[in-house]
Amino acid sequence: MSEMIRAEHLTYEYVRTVEEEKGSRSETVLALNDVTLTIPKGAFVAVLGHNGSGKSTFAKEINALLKPTKGVLWVDGMDTSDDELLWEIRQSAGMVFQNPDNQIVATVVEEDVAFGPENLGVEPEEIRRRVDQALETVGMTAFRKDTPSKLSGGQKQRIAIAGVLAMEPECIVLDEPTAMLDPMGRKDVIETIHRLNKEKGITIVLITHYMEETVDADWMVIIDDGKVAMEGTPREVFSQVEKVKGFGLDVPQATELAYRLRQMGLAVPKDILTTEEMVGALCQLQSTM
């Protein structure tokens, strides 16, 4: 399988000012520290980490909003340090941020979705086709003439995703896209990006702190203090409950329950991820009693 993203010894550091009683001082922060990983085309990869771990910095590196201090990051074979490739990289890897209001620029939904391809110099007829297709894909065609400010948080986020889709990227990076949404909005957005991955073959990199959003990912990466601390399938990673918690993270509720039941001596599988799996395990356990 070909590579969408490849990082080799990726390092990013910056200088920040720290205020103290005797004045201020500067210190260097190592946001990413020697990260090496590969994300195949068409994969759905979840990236986890506590606040300040470096996961959002990694997202910005993919979109070339930040450049490596050391090492290299390739997006679809393009070096993100090459200024001449900047727009090609951002067209190849679109970015959806936490707050959709920061991404919506127009006063009419369909005009907002058209903004990206217009800036790419796409012909008007092709823009019309892309806007129609993007809105249909995210289930927002009925709202095309509406004002974005009147939409719910989940609807706004779907419009933000449609705006990225209209640029026809091969990869979409979502930096905590559901953090400001209610449970229904979160569900809508996660279902939308899973559909884009399965039906359109778009590579998805999801940065999140909601564990339940990661259980259907192909692969998971945990970043801790700027380094890749763990990676594997969700089942492989979350079955190591104590190790995951050691990085300041939780596990899905069903996994947590399985962990506690095992501590009580009950023969429950340790790699349970969902409520349905837990119900099945408890039914099987009951039948043996």
pLDDT(289) > 70: no
Starting at the edge strand found earlier in the chain, the sheet holding 203-207 runs 93-96, 171-175, 203-207, 44-48, 219-224, 227-232
Amino acid identity of residue 185, one-letter, is: G
Q: Which two tokens stand for residue 127?
A: 């823009």
Element containing residue 278 per DSSP (H, E): helix 275-287
With the CA atoms of 233, 235, 237 and 240 taken in that order, what torsion angle do they form, in degrees rounded to the nearest 10? Answer: -160
| Section 145-155 average pLDDT | 91
pLDDT digits (tens, 9 = 90+) for 184-217: 888 888 998 999 899 989 999 999 988 989 999 9
**In sequence order, which ranges of 120-233 are alpha helices (DSSP H)?**
124-137, 153-165, 183-200
pLDDT(181) > 90: no
Question: What is the model's pLDDT at position 21?
Answer: 77
182 falls within a domain: yes
Number of domains in the chain: 1
272 falls within a domain: no
Q: Do 192 and 138 meet the contact criterion of CB atoms below 8 Å apart?
A: yes
Average model confidence (pLDDT) for the chain?
A: 91
% of residues, the chain, pLDDT over 70:
99
245 falls within a domain: no
CA atoms within 13 A on the CB side of 226: 13
pLDDT(6) > 70: yes
Enclosing domain of residue 97? 3-232
89 falls within a domain: yes
pLDDT(131) > 70: yes
| Section 156-176 average pLDDT | 91
Question: How many Å apart are CA 252 and CA 260, to the nearest integer?
Answer: 13
| Section 143-156 average pLDDT | 91
241 falls within a domain: no
Residue pointed to by tokens 């449970």: 183
Question: How many Å apart are CA 65 and CA 86, to the nearest integer?
Answer: 9
**Structure-model confidence comparison of residues 180 and 256, the more confident one:** 256
Amino acid identity of residue 146, one-letter, is: D
Question: How many Å apart are CA 58 and CA 47, to the nearest integer?
Answer: 9
31 falls within a domain: yes
Q: Which two tokens stand for residue 19?
A: 């205020």
**Among residues 140, 141, 196, which one has the least CA distance to residue 170?**
196
What is the domain-level CATH number for residue 216? Answer: 3.40.50.300
197 falls within a domain: yes
Q: Which two tokens stand for residue 21?
A: 């009683």
Element containing residue 47 per DSSP (H, E): strand 44-48
CA atoms within 13 A on the CB side of 158: 28
Other C-beta atoms closer than 10 Å to the C-beta of 286 total 8
**Structure-model confidence comparison of residues 172 and 289, the more confident one:** 172
pLDDT(288) > 80: no
Question: What is the model's pLDDT at position 1?
Answer: 64
243 falls within a domain: no
Burial class of residue 264 (count of CB atoms within 10 Å of its CB; 0-12, 13-18, 19+): exposed
Question: What is the model's pLDDT at position 247?
Answer: 94
